[in-house]
């Protein structure tokens, strides 16, 4: 069984690493255990272990979910130029974008799972077995597209790597149609997630037609920002190869996305403040606070200011091509979007609540723990898949070397593998 | 699936649940493996939603529930599944010029409908408003606590489920665990709800409440006259809401908030009956509904009687 060999090689390759690698894995595992024990606590006592209550009925979990849908969707940004315009240098990088997408969607699904009051009843949402309220509930659409996106990307990544392992050229007539589906699906997961919020007239803060476009543009900022930094780290510590031009090109595309994102944010702010209806109260709470309640003000302004600085850094060619300023910009835009799509999206929609009452929400320790656990699980999956991909694409691991390797120590290295990961 | 198959299926369930030791062992093993305490039986875990069950299955479930509740609370329990009365569409009207903000309705509701005392759940929220501002939600207060009500310069607006004709909450539910009955009452199947709280985000009236923790009701305060879709004891992690006291109104009684109100501010009746009090109010009083612009079309009306 060739596929079994592929899997075995993957596992072997994963466990190959130095002290820092095992420190990283140990760290993630510890965080996962910490998060899991927090979740068990929540499972036994109920969601009362969170700080969510009737007034603010969604919080940190759903905020992280929304942000990660964006990260997952953003891989499309790299897929489009690579496959449609045959722009060579980006092509090998696409696979890493898809790996990021797979890991992020997995985290999204976990965040949904931990937010459920009765998680064991998840099967009620499945078609045939349960009663999926399709098409009227947008949540069922979201569930459907997220799972499809996960399966699709997982398949494409595995298929490409498996063929590289077999030293075969991948079959274009299989990959290309899937890529063509994955592009609208990537747009789809984020659009549907936006519609989930956007379609509720009860929550004025979300009930805006530009929510979906805003979701897409901000995702096109945050997703590649994660990747820019990851590429540089991988380039340093592994045999991953990527040219500077590719990084700069991605940064340039991000600058356009950032401009549109800022423009949309500005349009929304103008509409709300100039029309000055009673519904302005939610933006008021977000940007200036109401009375003594100024909890979100520091976050909203940081998000806005970081977004503007990052845009400038990415727009000016000089700072874009300087890795120091480029990385500062990437971190800033990441923080900016994390706030905007997390607490800045969920909390103001619920504060004040629909009857005008204030409940000030901040995540509880349980929520922070569970979230940390989920992020670690995602990073662990990402680490695993990236190591396999690097070994096969850049280090020449394939079916032949596997045969040779059979009895030999995998740590000793093989032809085409020169650099020991530190 | 034929009816016969369904019967076989329930028989299997019966045999299975009789093997109680097996289930206890399974949940103990589950606890030891994962540290999670499982609070539902296997039958509950795999139960289909109430609306699609056969008569026999419904009866069996109700019998089991009655036994379970009777044992837990030490009182003889009745869990009704009375269907809607034909030709009824329930409507509610509340006289803002009479309400004094005493919150008797809030507590009568808690008692009648077995709401959790700890953590505390209130289906009715009474908003205190300022006379000079009129009905302005953003300047209202639910936590008012003066020694005596009504307070000078204020009026009161109780809000519970508005029993919309066009409810958003049922549309967004991903599993059809909540729906509008033919008599207009929006109900929840507590055994089908997955606790995603999408309905709470969609409700413009804050009418839906979540069991954040295990609900707790003192034994001597429990109301044993219940309805499957209404005031039967709930479990943690599910959403609940006002049902116009479904267990009462379907047998011709008034909701308990109507009965308790000391000033007669609450009116209830059949919207399809032209002679009813509710129709008289709609015709003759200055009536409004909350958040009319959202097109939820409530069957809960506010009016000024004096």
* Per-residue model confidence as pLDDT tens digits over B149-208: 999 999 999 999 999 999 999 999 999 999 999 999 999 999 999 999 999 999 999 999
B236 inside 8 A of chain A by CB: yes
Asked which of A322-331, B46-55, B184-193, B246-255 is least confident by mean pLDDT, the reply is B46-55
For residue A175, which of A72, A95, A81 has the smallest C-alpha distance?
Answer: A95
- Domains defined for chain A, CATH in brackets: 11-412 (1.20.1630.10)
Residues 6+ away with beta carbon under 8 Å from A49: A38, A41, A42, A364, A366
For residue A205, which of A98, A278, A274 has the smallest C-alpha distance?
Answer: A278
Residue owning tokens 């965040």? A111
* Per-residue model confidence as pLDDT tens digits over A278-294: 999 999 999 999 999 99
Between chain A and chain B, how many beta carbons pairs sit less than 8 Å apart?
A: 160
Interface test with B, best of A35, A40, A54 (most B CBs within 10 A): A54
Count the Cβ atoms, other than its own, within 10 Å of residue B41: 17
Q: Name the token pair of A176.
A: 């290309």
A55 inside 8 A of chain B by CB: yes
| Alpha-carbon gap, residue A43 to A3, rounded angstroms | 38
**Which CA distances in Å does B50 have to A134, A191, B44?**
19, 34, 11
pLDDT of amino acid A298: 96
A228 within 8 A of A75, measured Cβ to Cβ: no
Question: What was the ipTM of the complex prediction?
Answer: 0.90
In this complex, the residue of B52, B140, B174 whose CB is nearest that of residue A355 is B140
pLDDT band at residue A265 using 50, 70 and 90 as cut-offs: very high
A54 inside 8 A of chain B by CB: yes
Residue B174 to residue A357, Cβ atoms within 8 A: no
For residue A281, which of A348, A339, A344 has the smallest C-alpha distance?
Answer: A348
Residue B201 to residue A53, Cβ atoms within 8 A: no
In this complex, the residue of A54, A136, A200 whose CB is nearest that of residue B210 is A54
* Per-residue model confidence as pLDDT tens digits over A117-143: 999 999 999 988 889 998 999 999 999
**Which CA distances in Å does B132 have to A282, B135, B152, B304?**
23, 9, 12, 16
CATH topology of domain B80-306: Alpha-Beta Plaits (3.30.70)
A139 within 8 A of B196, measured Cβ to Cβ: yes
Asked which of A13-27, A368-382, B15-29 is least confident by mean pLDDT, the reply is B15-29
B199 inside 8 A of chain A by CB: no
B159 within 8 A of B106, measured Cβ to Cβ: no
pLDDT band at residue A418 using 50, 70 and 90 as cut-offs: very low
Residue A355 to residue B127, Cβ atoms within 8 A: yes
Domain boundaries, chain B: 1-46, 80-306
| DSSP category for residue A290 | B
* Per-residue model confidence as pLDDT tens digits over B97-151: 999 999 999 999 999 999 999 999 999 999 999 999 999 999 999 999 999 999 9
Residues 6+ away with beta carbon under 8 Å from A344: A286, A296, A299, A300, A303
Residue A122 to residue B211, Cβ atoms within 8 A: no
Residue-wise DSSP of A354-394: TTS--------HHHHHHHHHHHHHHHHHHHHHHHHHHHHHH
Which residues of chain A does B143 touch, with a Cβ-Cβ cutoff of 8 Å?
357
């Amino acid at each position: 069984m060739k596929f079994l060999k592929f899997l075995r090689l993957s596992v072997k390759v994963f466990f190959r690493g130095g002290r820092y690698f095992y420190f990283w894995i140990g760290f993630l595992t510890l965080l996962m255990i910490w998060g899991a024990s927090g979740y068990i606590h929540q499972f036994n006592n109920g969601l009362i272990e969170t700080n969510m209550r009737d007034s603010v009925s969604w919080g940190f979990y759903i905020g992280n979910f929304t942000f990660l849908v964006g990260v997952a969707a953003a891989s499309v940004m790299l897929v489009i130029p690579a496959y449609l315009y045959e722009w060579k240098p980006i092509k090998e990088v696409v696979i890493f974008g898809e790996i990021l997408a797979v890991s992020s969607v997995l985290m999204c699904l976990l965040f949904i799972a931990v937010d459920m009051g009765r998680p064991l009843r998840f099967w009620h949402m499945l078609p045939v077995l349960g009663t999926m309220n399709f098409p009227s509930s947008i949540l069922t659409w979201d569930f459907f597209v997220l799972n499809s996106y996960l399966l699709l990307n997982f398949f494409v990544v595995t298929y490409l790597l498996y063929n590289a392992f077999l030293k075969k050229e991948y079959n274009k007539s299989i990959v290309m149609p899937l890529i063509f589906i994955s592009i609208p699906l990537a747009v789809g997961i984020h659009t549907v997630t936006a519609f989930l919020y956007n379609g509720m007239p009860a929550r004025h803060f979300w009930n805006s037609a530009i929510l979906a476009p805003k979701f897409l543009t901000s995702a096109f900022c945050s997703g590649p920002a994660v990747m820019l930094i990851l590429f540089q780290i991988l380039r340093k510590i592994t045999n991953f190869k990527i040219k500077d031009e590719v990084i700069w090109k991605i940064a340039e595309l991000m600058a356009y996305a950032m401009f549109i994102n800022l423009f949309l944010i500005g349009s929304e702010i103008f509409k709300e403040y100039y029309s000055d209806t009673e519904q302005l109260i939610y933006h008021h709470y977000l940007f200036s606070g109401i009375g003594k309640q100024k909890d979100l003000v520091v976050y909203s302004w940081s998000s806005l200011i970081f977004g503007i600085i990052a845009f400038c850094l990415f727009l000016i060619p000089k700072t874009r091509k300087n890795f120091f300023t480029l990385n500062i910009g990437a971190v800033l835009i990441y923080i900016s979007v994390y706030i905007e799509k997390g607490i800045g999206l969920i909390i103001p929609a619920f504060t004040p609540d629909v009857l005008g009452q204030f409940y000030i929400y901040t995540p509880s320790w349980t929520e922070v723990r569970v979230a940390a656990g989920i992020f670690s699980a995602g990073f662990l999956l990402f680490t695993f898949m990236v190591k396999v991909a690097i070994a096969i694409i850049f280090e020449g691991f394939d079916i032949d070397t596997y045969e040779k390797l059979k009895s030999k120590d995998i740590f000793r290295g093989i032809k085409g593998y020169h650099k020991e990961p530190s | 699936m034929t009816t016969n198959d369904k019967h076989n299926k329930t028989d299997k369930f019966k045999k299975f649940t009789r093997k109680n030791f097996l289930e206890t062992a399974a949940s103990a093993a589950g606890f030891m493996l994962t540290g999670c305490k499982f609070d539902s039986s296997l039958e509950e875990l795999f139960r289909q939603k109430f609306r699609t069950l056969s008569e026999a299955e419904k009866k069996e479930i109700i019998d089991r529930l009655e036994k379970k509740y009777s044992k837990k609370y030490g009182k003889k329990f009745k869990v009704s599944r009375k269907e809607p009365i034909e030709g009824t569409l329930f409507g509610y009207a509340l006289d803002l010029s009479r309400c004094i903000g005493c919150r008797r309705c809030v507590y009568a509701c808690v008692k009648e409908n077995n709401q959790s005392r700890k953590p505390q759940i209130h289906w009715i929220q009474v908003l205190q408003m300022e006379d000079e501002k009129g009905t302005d939600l953003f300047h209202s207060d639910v936590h008012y606590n003066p020694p005596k009500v009504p307070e000078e310069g204020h009026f009161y607006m109780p809000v519970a489920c508005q029993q919309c004709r066009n409810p958003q909450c049922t549309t967004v539910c991903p599993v059809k665990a909540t729906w509008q009955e033919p008599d207009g009452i929006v109900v929840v199947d507590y055994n089908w709800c997955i606790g995603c709280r999408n309905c709470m985000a969609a409700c413009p009236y804050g009418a839906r409440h979540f069991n954040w923790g295990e609900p707790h009701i003192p034994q001597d305060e429990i109301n044993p006259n219940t309805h499957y879709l209404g005031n039967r004891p709930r479990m943690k992690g599910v959403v609940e809401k006002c049902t116009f006291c479904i267990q009462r109104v379907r047998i011709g009684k008034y909701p308990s908030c109507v009965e308790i109100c000391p000033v007669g501010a609450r009116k209830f009746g059949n919207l399809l009956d032209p002679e009813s009090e509710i129709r008289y109010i709609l015709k003759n009083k200055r009536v409004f509904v909350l958040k009319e612009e959202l097109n939820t079309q409530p069957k809960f009306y506010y009016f000024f009687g004096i």
